[in-house]
């Protein structure tokens, strides 16, 4: 009888562990899909490939900030992640001329 109870307890622990792992894996898959959706349309580029006009606009309008990450889409619009000492990162969008633009509604919907 004691062996039967030990076997039942071990089986219950195995099933509980398997269920927990399955839930974690599902949550991770959902997170990865969300990250891909946000970046859709923009390809990451080296910050050195950002046009000088865009870099100048960052220096002028966001004093003390630097470009931590840069992305570009087919329209040659840039998504820039700016960082400055002691502040949170900020994401801004610009065209190749260094003019600030608002993200399109498609980009905004994907972020939500």
Residue 26 belongs to domain spanning: 1-39
Domain count, the chain: 2
CATH number at residue 71: 3.40.1420.30
Span 50-70, average pLDDT: 96
Q: Are residues 26 and 54 in the same domain?
A: no
Greater confidence (78 vs 35) lies with 78
Q: Are residues 53 and 100 in the same domain?
A: yes
Q: Are residues 72 and 99 in the same domain?
A: yes
Q: Are residues 15 and 59 in the same domain?
A: no
101/111 Cα distance (integer angstroms)? 16
Greater confidence (71 vs 15) lies with 71
pLDDT at 30 over 50: no
Q: What is the DSSP letter of 75?
A: T
Q: Are residues 34 and 48 in the same domain?
A: no
Q: Are residues 63 and 98 in the same domain?
A: yes
Whole-model pTM: value is 0.59
Split at pLDDT 50, 70, 90, the class of 87 is confident
Task: Give the containing element (helix H, strand E) for 82.
Answer: strand 77-83
pLDDT at 57 over 90: yes
């Amino acid at each position: 009888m004691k062996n039967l109870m030990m076997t039942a307890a071990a089986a219950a622990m195995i099933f509980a562990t398997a269920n927990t792992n399955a839930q974690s894996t599902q949550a991770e898959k959902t997170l990865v899909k969300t990250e891909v959706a946000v970046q859709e349309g923009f390809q990451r580029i080296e910050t050195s490939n950002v046009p000088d006009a865009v870099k100048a606009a960052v220096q002028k309008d966001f004093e003390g900030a630097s470009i931590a990450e840069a992305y570009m889409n087919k329209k040659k619009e840039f998504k820039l992640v700016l960082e400055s000492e002691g502040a949170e990162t900020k994401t801004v969008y610009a065209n190749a001329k260094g003019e600030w633009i608002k993200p399109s509604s498609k980009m905004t919907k994907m972020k939500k």
